[in-house]
Structure 1
Amino acid sequence: MTSTNDESTFEDPAEALRLIEHERHHTFREVTPDPRLMYWPWGLTWLISFGLSFLRFGPEGKTFVDMPTWLPLLALTVLLTAAGIFTGVVGARASRHISGPSSRQGATYGISWSAGFTSLAIIFGRVSEHVPDEMLGLLWGGGMVALVGVLYMAGSAIWDVRDMFVLGAWISVVNVIGVLWGPGWHALVLAVAGGGGLLVAGFVGWMRRR
Structure 2
Amino acid sequence: MSNSKQRPSDAAAHAERTPNVDDDAPLDPAAMYALMQNQQRSIESQVNGFVPVITMAWGLTWLLGFGALWLIDGARPGFALAMPVAIGIFVACVAVTSALSAWLGIRSGRGLRGSTAAAFTGTAYGVTWGVGATALGVLGGALRSAGMTAEMANFYYPSAYVFFAGIMYMIAGAIWRTVPSLVAGIWLVAIAAAAPYFGYPNHYLFLALAGGLAFIALAVLSLVRLRRLRAAASGSARRG
After TM superposition, the score normalised by the length of structure 2 is 0.71
- The 3 A distance-change label for structure 1 pair 161 and 106 is same
Match of 1:209 in 2: 226
Greater RCO (Cα-Cα under 8 Å, separation 6 or more): 1
Provide structure 1 residue ranges, at least 5 long, that are not aligned to the other structure: 8-12
Corresponding position of 2:103: 89
RMSD (CA atoms): 3.1
* TM-score, reference length from structure 1: 0.80
Match of 2:68 in 1: 52
Q: Following TM superposition, by how much is the alpha carbon of 1:57 offset from its aligned partner in structure 2, in angstroms? A: 3.4
Contact 1:58 1:185 in 2 (8 A): no
How far, CA to CA, are the matches of 1:131 and 1:168 in structure 2? 28
Contact 1:56–1:67 under 8 Å retained in 2: yes
CA contact (8 A) 1:35 1:205 kept: yes
Structure 1 residues 144 and 209, CA, compared in 2 at 3 Å: closer, same or farther?
Answer: same
Letter in 2 for 1:141: P
Which residue of 2 is the match for residue 134 of structure 1? 151
Larger radius of gyration: 2
Aligned residues between the structures: 204
Distance 1:43 1:66, change over 3 A: same
Which has the higher mean CA deviation after the structures are superposed, 84-93 or 175-184?
A: 84-93
The answer (yes or no) to whether the contact 2:105–2:127 under 8 Å persists in 1 is: no
After superposition, give the CA deviation of every residue in 1:102-149 in whole Å (9 maximum; x if it has no partner): 222222223333332222211210222533333322111111211221
Residue number in structure 1 paired with 2:182: 165
Unaligned runs of 5+ in 2: 1-14, 24-28, 228-240
Distance 1:87 1:110 in 2: 6
Q: Alignment partner of 1:65: what SS?
A: coil
CA distance in 2, matches of 1:198, 1:150: 14
Q: Is the 8 A contact 1:55 1:64 kept in 2?
A: no
Verify: 1:112 aligned to 2:128, yes or no. Answer: yes
Percent of residue pairs identical:
24
Counterpart code for 1:79: C
Counterpart AA for 1:85: A
